[in-house]
């Protein structure tokens, strides 16, 4: 099958000399330094972006602060919801354009960009829009004794924290950006976004759509660049909250810096080494399509996806044989070809990182299936299944963030839980079983922020999401995000 035709609007957008988006306008970068964005399937330059320094970051933060205290503060909750819904409509109308930009930038299969990245972004935006009118405090009846007949009452009110710094990774650049934008705007905050240097274009297009949706200038700003740009942002004194999604080392550094910078609030959505446990009663043929889809979607570059399969000893041989067979059937190819089932990794540094793990596995004879980078143009590797050399093996402990999965047999529930929890991470886990009683007994023992049964890697806006242990601090979605984006103010009245 041939590749989808690139829209003229996409070509024109990529050809632009992009600057930063501040106060509803494109501003010229202060320096001439530019970053080349490569298509990971072809290694060709598709666009360039500017590198934001202190000056541009301060301009963006000041603009967000002004909007926070003026236009956005004067916008009613109902209007905020209407504008977010309007943005959702515009994302839907520009879905193919955004999907193509995402695929060209990150190597995500075009159908995944269309049906997950863009379609789910719309779902999340509408969900957040609904919250705008539902954020409220409580009333309390204090117990202070009345001496002279006076009475007391008290209430709480939730107020937006102010300017949010949103730092976004490259794997779901649009959707994760929208999680931060939706959370900020619906609670009445404003935001400055720093996209990943590897996946910037979709958010640059989104802010134009936001302006078209009637979201006032300054409410959403974008400054592009590398880690240094993010550093300027989190150190700005007008930033009241940092919302970071990315790797554990960067997250820990940012968390420390934010706390030491006037206790700036910080939420961290970090990595994982997630476990999927296939219990003795599971029917391998039945679970395989869902499990493999959840594991190898976007070439495994999904924070929530499993990287460790624990299989009951009685099913181990059958499982390994069937998974290896299924992986060899995946058609690897151009992400713009609708018939491809597996595309490239998203960028060169990540390709190098995954190749390092593949070499390690080869050196130690641990490869069961796959295990190679694919020769030629583009950052392609084979989907890979590995044995591990015990629970202290780096391949058991370290996040590859790629299509590289361990298979580990177990015999008892105790052994399973001990191995699943033997990790510094605690993002997600899944149990594959029809024995509901056993699942309900195991769930409290598993150290993870999200646990699925007979599914994995499904994020829904109505269900809180976030990690424990080194996988993060804070929760997104549901009503859990409100705590992070608002201050709870208490008022007591004597009358």
Q: Which residues are catalytic?
A: 269
Residues 162, 241 contacting (CB under 8 angstroms):
yes
Select from 227, 326, 421, 453 the one that contacts ligand NDP (CB under 6 A).
227
Q: Rank residues 10 and 242 by Cβ distance to ligand NDP and give the closer one.
A: 242
Window contacting ligand NDP (CB under 6 A); options: 180-188, 226-234, 377-385, 481-489? 226-234
Window contacting ligand NDP (CB under 6 A); options: 131-139, 263-271, 315-323, 480-488? 263-271
At residue 346, the 3 state secondary structure works out as coil
Q: Rank residues 132 and 234 by Cβ distance to ligand NDP and give the closer one.
A: 234
Select from 42, 111, 231, 324 the one that contacts ligand NDP (CB under 6 A).
231
Q: Can you read off the two tokens belonging to residue 105?
A: 């930038």
Query: Under the criterion CB under 6 A, does residue 194 sit at the interface with ligand NDP?
Result: yes
Sorted by sequence, the CB contacts under 8 Å of residue 359 that are 6+ apart come out as none
CB of 168 to ligand NDP, least distance (A): 5
Q: Rank residues 9 and 247 by Cβ distance to ligand NDP and give the closer one.
A: 247
Query: Under the criterion CB under 6 A, does residue 258 sit at the interface with ligand NDP?
Result: no
Query: Under the criterion CB under 6 A, does residue 198 sit at the interface with ligand NDP?
Result: yes
Q: Treating both helix axes as pointing N-terminal to C-terminal, what angle do 201-212 and 8-15 enclose, rounded to 10 degrees? A: 110
Query: Under the criterion CB under 6 A, does residue 197 sit at the interface with ligand NDP?
Result: yes
The torsion of the CA quartet 350, 430, 342, 327, rounded to 10 degrees, works out to: 110
Sorted by sequence, the CB contacts under 8 Å of residue 88 that are 6+ apart come out as 122, 125, 126, 129
Select from 171, 366, 423, 433 the one that contacts ligand NDP (CB under 6 A).
171
d(CA 315, CA 239): 52
Residues 1, 33 contacting (CB under 8 angstroms):
no
Q: Can you read off the two tokens belonging to residue 261?
A: 């910078």
Residues 310, 420 contacting (CB under 8 angstroms):
yes
Select from 107, 177, 218, 230 the one that contacts ligand NDP (CB under 6 A).
230
Query: Under the criterion CB under 6 A, does residue 168 sit at the interface with ligand NDP?
Result: yes
Window contacting ligand NDP (CB under 6 A); options: 19-27, 182-190, 191-199, 306-314? 191-199
Q: Rank residues 310 and 477 by Cβ distance to ligand NDP and give the closer one.
A: 477
Select from 113, 196, 236, 366 the one that contacts ligand NDP (CB under 6 A).
196
In order, the DSSP letters of 258-274 are: HHHTTT-EEEEE----E
Output the residue with the shortest Cβ distance to ligand NDP: 230
- For residue 196, the cross-strand partners are 199
At residue 254, the 3 state secondary structure works out as helix
Query: Under the criterion CB under 6 A, does residue 270 sit at the interface with ligand NDP?
Result: yes
Residue in the block written with tokens 């690897």: 332
Query: Under the criterion CB under 6 A, does residue 245 sit at the interface with ligand NDP?
Result: yes
Q: Can you read off the two tokens belonging to residue 63?
A: 């603009």
Query: Under the criterion CB under 6 A, does residue 40 sit at the interface with ligand NDP?
Result: no
Residues 478, 127 contacting (CB under 8 angstroms):
no
Select from 52, 162, 169, 306 the one that contacts ligand NDP (CB under 6 A).
169
- For residue 250, the cross-strand partners are none
Residue 151, class by beta-carbon neighbours within 10 Å (0-12 exposed, 13-18 middle, 19+ buried)? exposed
H or E stretch at 308: strand 306-312
Query: Under the criterion CB under 6 A, does residue 267 sit at the interface with ligand NDP?
Result: no
What is the contact mask toward ligand NDP in residues 387 to 416, using x (rule: CB under 6 A)?
Answer: ------------x-x---------------
Query: Under the criterion CB under 6 A, does residue 52 sit at the interface with ligand NDP?
Result: no
Q: Rank residues 257 and 364 by Cβ distance to ligand NDP and give the closer one.
A: 257
Interface with ligand NDP by CB under 6 A: which residues? 167-171, 194, 196-198, 226-227, 230-231, 245-247, 250, 253-254, 269-272, 303, 399, 401, 427, 467, 472
């Amino acid at each position: 099958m041939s590749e989808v035709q690139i829209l003229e609007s996409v070509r024109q957008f990529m050809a632009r000399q992009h600057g930063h988006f501040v106060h509803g306008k494109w501003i010229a970068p202060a320096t001439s330094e530019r970053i080349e964005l490569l298509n990971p399937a072809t290694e060709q330059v598709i666009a360039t972006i500017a590198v934001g320094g202190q000056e541009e970051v301060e301009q963006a933060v000041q603009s967000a602060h002004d909007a926070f205290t003026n236009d956005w503060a004067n916008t009613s909750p109902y209007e905020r919801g209407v504008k977010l819904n309007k943005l959702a409509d515009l994302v839907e109308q520009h879905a193919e354009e955004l999907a193509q930009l995402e695929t060209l930038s990150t190597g995500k299969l075009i159908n995944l960009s269309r049906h997950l990245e863009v379609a789910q972004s719309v779902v999340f935006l509408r969900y957040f829009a609904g919250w705008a009118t539902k954020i409220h405090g409580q009333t309390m009846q204090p117990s202070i004794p009345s001496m002279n007949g006076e009475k007391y009452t008290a209430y709480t009110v939730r107020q937006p924290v102010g300017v949010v710094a949103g730092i976004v990774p490259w794997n779901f650049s649009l959707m994760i950006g929208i999680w931060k934008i939706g959370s900020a705007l619906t609670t009445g905050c404003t935001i400055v976004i720093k996209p990943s240097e590897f996946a910037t274009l979709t958010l640059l297009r989104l802010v134009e759509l936001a302006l078209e949706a009637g979201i006032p200038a300054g409410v959403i700003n974008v400054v592009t660049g590398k880690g240094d740009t993010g550093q300027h942002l989190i150190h700005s004194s007008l930033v009241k909250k940092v919302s970071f999604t990315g790797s554990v080392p960067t997250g820990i550094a940012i968390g420390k810096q934010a706390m030491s910078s006037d206790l700036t609030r910080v939420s961290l959505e970090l990595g994982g080494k997630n476990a999927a446990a296939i219990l003795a009663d599971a029917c391998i043929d039945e679970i395989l399509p869902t499990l493999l889809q959840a594991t190898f979607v976007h070439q495994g570059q999904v924070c929530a996806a499993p990287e460790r399969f624990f299989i009951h000893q009685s099913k181990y041989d059958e499982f390994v044989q069937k998974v290896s067979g299924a992986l060899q059937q995946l058609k690897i190819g151009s992400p713009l070809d609708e018939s491809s089932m597996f595309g490239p990794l998203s960028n060169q540094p990540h390709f190098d990182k995954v190749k390092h793990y593949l070499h390690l596995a080869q050196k130690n004879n641990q490869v069961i299936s796959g295990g190679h980078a694919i020769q030629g143009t583009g950052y392609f590797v084979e989907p890979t299944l590995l044995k591990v050399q015990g629970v202290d093996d780096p391949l058991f402990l370290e996040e590859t963030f790629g299509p590289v999965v361990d298979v580990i047999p177990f015999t008892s529930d105790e052994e399973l839980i001990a191995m699943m929890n033997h990790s510094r991470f605690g993002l997600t886990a899944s149990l594959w079983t029809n024995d509901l009683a056993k699942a309900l007994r195991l769930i409290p023992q598993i150290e993870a922020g999200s646990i699925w049964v007979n599914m994995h890697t499904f994020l829904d806006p109505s269900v809180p999401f976030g990690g424990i242990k080194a996988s993060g601090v804070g929760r997104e979605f549901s009503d859990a995000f409100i705590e992070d984006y608002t201050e709870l103010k208490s008022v007591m009245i004597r009358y």
